[in-house]
Homo-oligomer: A and B are copies of this chain.
Amino acid sequence: MAAPPRPRTNRRVVYETLRRKVLTLELPPGTALSENELAAALGVSRTPVRESLILLADEGLVQVFPQVGTFVSRVDPDRVRDAQFLREAVELAALDDVPAELDPDVVAELRTNLDRQRAPGIDLEEFFALDEAFHHGLLQLSGHARAWSTVVSAKGHLDRARRLGLKEKNTTTPFADQHVEIFDAVVAGDLPRARETMRTHLRAVFDDIERLREHAPELFATDDGSVPVRRNVVVWE
């Protein structure tokens, strides 16, 4: 038995906390993150905070400017495209490897998942969690579950764009329906339909970006090489 021990170090806690807040937009793009302030707020020293920020910077979720500051990165449409390309490539390739005999446990899990996705008035974050689990489950069917973690690490910008899109639309129904269609096609062994529906499903994010850039341009990166700067603000003691 090779149970991988995941010690709950402060670094892991801080990393997961910050990553969640960035992805859920609780920390909006452009927010200044001071290592000292974060450390004080989280009740730890700078060390675990700093090490977490380094990992987040490696994922592109934050940007570190030495001697200036650390900032939640703005959503970069180029990175969204890169992540979408990678994700689509992986998920379509996985569909090609789905065996004729499906793992019944995974199939059952996926059915339960899809039912929950269509619960009326579902919370947006809960839908996202189910969405992630659904796509992860599809990769499981093809025996490529472990490749999912790499995709997850790479698609931070993509996830933020999708959240922005869903918040604006305020409905998850079309996506849940597409999930059902993909699932049905996989179960039926209809590979071409599964591929085509998946491709359409994954490319939906592109429909939103341009409109979103008009609504909230401050959340998106520009290519003018500008960098954030510190601002002194009045503090009410």
Q: How far is the CA of A51 from the CA of B89 in the complex (A)?
A: 32
Given A66-B9, A89-B90, are A154 and B150 neighbors across the interface (CB < 8 Å)? Answer: yes
Q: Closest approach, in angstroms, between the C-beta of A189 and any C-beta of chain B?
A: 21
Q: Mark A1-31, 1 if CB is under 8 A from B, else 0.
A: 1110001010000000000000000000000
Q: Is the interface of A mostly helix, strand, loop or mixed?
A: helix
Q: How far is the CA of A78 from the CA of B51 in the complex (A)?
A: 28
Q: How far is the CA of A153 from the CA of B86 in the complex (A)?
A: 13
Given A93-B93, A224-B2, are A150 and B58 neighbors across the interface (CB < 8 Å)? Answer: no
Copies of this chain, whole number: 2
> Does chain B have a CB within 8 A of A147?
yes
Given A54-B51, A55-B58, are A86 and B147 neighbors across the interface (CB < 8 Å)? Answer: yes
Contact residues in B for A1 (Cβ distance below 8 Å): 225
Partner pick for A225 among B3, B58, B82, B147, CB 8 A cutoff: B3
> Does chain B have a CB within 8 A of A92?
yes
Given A51-B54, A54-B51, A55-B54, are A85 and B144 neighbors across the interface (CB < 8 Å)? Answer: yes
> Does chain B have a CB within 8 A of A223?
yes
Cβ A85 vs Cβ B147 within 8 A: yes
Q: How far is the CA of A85 from the CA of B50 in the complex (A)?
A: 33
> Does chain B have a CB within 8 A of A88?
yes
Q: Mark A188-222, 1 if CB is under 8 A from B, else 0.
A: 00000000000000000000000000000000000
A-side residues, CB < 8 A to B, are 1-3, 7, 9, 50-51, 54-55, 58, 66, 78-79, 82, 85-86, 88-90, 92-94, 144, 146-147, 150, 153-154, 223-225
In the complex, 10 of the A-B residue pairs with CB atoms within 8 angstroms, ordered by the A residue number, are A2-B223, A2-B224, A7-B66, A54-B54, A55-B58, A78-B146, A82-B146, A85-B90, A85-B147, A89-B89
List 3 tightest A-B contacts by C-beta distance, closest first.
Answer: A2-B225, A89-B93, A89-B89
